[in-house]
Amino acid sequence: MSRSKGVIIGCGAIAREHLTAIDSIDNATIVGVCDLSPTKAQATAERFGVPTWSTDFKRLIAGHTPDLVHITTPPSAHVSIAEYCLAEGMNVLCEKPIVTDYRDFEKLRLLAKSRKCYLVENQNLRYHSSVQRIRHLISDGHLGDVVDVQIQLFLNLYGLGNPFSDDNTPHFSRALKGGPIGDFLPHIAYLSQMFAGHITELHTLWSTRRSGSTLPADEFRALMRGTAATASVEFSGNIQPNGFWLRVMGTRMSVEADLFNPPRLSIRKLRPGEQALMTVFDGVAEARDIFRGSIAGLGRKLGGTSSYDGLKESLQHVYDCLRGAKDQPITLEEIDRTTKLVDRFTEVGLST
């Protein structure tokens, strides 16, 4: 059976992750890459053995009629490229954030529906191995009812050579509401919704801690009430070391996943017995979880597993659905809810 054909528009870091992931998928192949920089497009094609490269995405698409167009450009270019591709009847997989303004998503959604094309935002953390484990713990009843979800993301926005705070050439994320933090809001939004349900109440706090910073904000907090649970978010561009933690607290169990270092995940659960003794058991179990996860994480790094955990599974799922003529794996309604929540995150308290 022939492989599905994809093209990639935009040859930055995330494009390399797509190419690496596709390389390990049996039923898909990338037939062309595109970038405004010819050398970048050529270097990417040469490195990954892609047969063609171009600086003109319209010409690339016309020449290949791909099954899926991966849009991996900076977010400000997403809408115009997606609009063109959808109008041409192409299926689109777009990196997050799919749009920088919710109104643009409404426009794209209508177009995708009318042309019967996929319009998928890459929400790879839905497929992250640790997120999947937590979902299984919930669906199998081990965790009980979800009561609270905590998301903590610490990322140094100011380090040497850090593109986020480069004042010479502003990083693409400066064009987003919330600046660099805005680039991560889609992940935060859909993870919150996955575990807390539809968000009915939201309180946010934006601030800039670093004096002299040219970023719109470097700290963000959110407190949410969802239909299933509460959720809180803490994003810091100053706390070090970097870390990305997802904690899901249930009526029988609490789970903590280190999303930057999968498969590190530790579980604390109710144990019958003498409390003082159980504290020791808990400590030993937690140490065992962390040790096993750390060793497995090292193995993953040495084995060249992508740091974008879940991306391969996410792309595989999209191509599988395409081949099976199924509905797109992440529905337009789910993407709509994520995009709306991202918009709400930035509605209040953010200086523009």
Partner 1 sequence: MKILVTGAGGFLGRYVVRCLLARGHSVRALIRPASSAPNWGSRVDTRYGDLRSELDLPSLFDGIDGVMHLASATSGNEDTQFASSVVATERLLDAMTRSSVKRLIHISSLVVYDWSKAAGYMDENTPLLADPSGMGAYTIAKVWQERLVQDVAKKAALELTIARPGFIWGRNHVNIAAMGRRLGRSFLMFGPLTRLPLTHVYNCADCLVAMLENRNSIGRIYNIVDSDDVRVWRYVREYARRTHQSGALIPLPYRAGYWTARLASRISRTLFGAKGKLPSILTPTRFESQFKPLRYRTELLSETLGWTPPKPLDQCLNDSYSMEREDEDVAQPVSLT
Q: Which is nearer to partner 1, 240 or 331 (CB)?
A: 240
Tokens of 233: 């978010």
Give me the residue label for tokens 């003498």.
274
Decide if residue 205 touches partner 1 (CB under 8 A). no
Decide if residue 161 touches partner 1 (CB under 8 A). yes
CA–CA distance, 215 with 131 (Å, rounded to integer): 30
Decide if residue 351 touches partner 1 (CB under 8 A). no
Contact 203, 223 (CB under 8 A): yes
CA–CA distance, 112 with 94 (Å, rounded to integer): 13
Over the window 7 to 26, marking each residue x when it contacts partner 1 by CB under 8 A and - when it does not, the resulting string is -----xx-------------
| In the complex, least distance from residue 38 CB atom to partner 1, rounded to whole angstroms | 7
Tokens of 130: 């640790």
Using the contact rule CB under 8 A, the part of the chain among 56-64, 219-227, 235-243, 302-310 near partner 1 is: 302-310
To which H or E segment does residue 64 belong? Answer: helix 57-64
CA–CA distance, 235 with 213 (Å, rounded to integer): 16
Q: Which is nearer to partner 1, 47 or 209 (CB)?
A: 47
Contact 10, 32 (CB under 8 A): no
Give me the residue label for tokens 């009980």.
144
| In the complex, least distance from residue 266 CB atom to partner 1, rounded to whole angstroms | 26
Which of 26, 27, 110, 166 is close enough to bind partner 1 by CB under 8 A? 166
Q: Which is nearer to partner 1, 12 or 349 (CB)?
A: 12
To which H or E segment does residue 265 belong? Answer: strand 265-269
Using the contact rule CB under 8 A, the part of the chain among 57-65, 158-166, 290-298, 336-344 near partner 1 is: 158-166
| In the complex, least distance from residue 39 CB atom to partner 1, rounded to whole angstroms | 5
**CA distances (Å), 269 to each of 147, 278, 286, in order?**
14, 10, 10
Question: Site for partner 1 (CB under 8 A): how many residues?
Answer: 23
* Burial of residue 30 (number of CB atoms within 10 Å: 0-12, 13-18, 19+): buried
Q: Report CA 138 to chain centroid distance, whole Å.
A: 21
Which of 116, 201, 272, 302 is close enough to bind partner 1 by CB under 8 A? 302
Which of 170, 243, 297, 349 is close enough to bind partner 1 by CB under 8 A? 170
- CA proximity to 236, closest of 214, 221, 246, 222: 221
Q: Report CA 44 to chain centroid distance, whole Å.
A: 22
Using the contact rule CB under 8 A, the part of the chain among 144-152, 272-280, 299-307, 343-351 near partner 1 is: 299-307
Q: Which is nearer to partner 1, 63 or 163 (CB)?
A: 163
**CA distances (Å), 300 to each of 30, 267, 295, in order?**
24, 21, 9
Q: Which of residues 27-56 bind partner 1 (CB under 8 A)?
A: 37-40, 43, 46-47
Which of 63, 144, 163, 243 is close enough to bind partner 1 by CB under 8 A? 163
Specify the pairing of strand 119-121 against strand 146-154. unpaired
Which of 212, 241, 272, 303 is close enough to bind partner 1 by CB under 8 A? 303
Which of 113, 136, 288, 301 is close enough to bind partner 1 by CB under 8 A? 301
- Chain residues in the site for partner 1 (CB under 8 A): 12-13, 37-40, 43, 46-47, 160-163, 166-170, 301-305
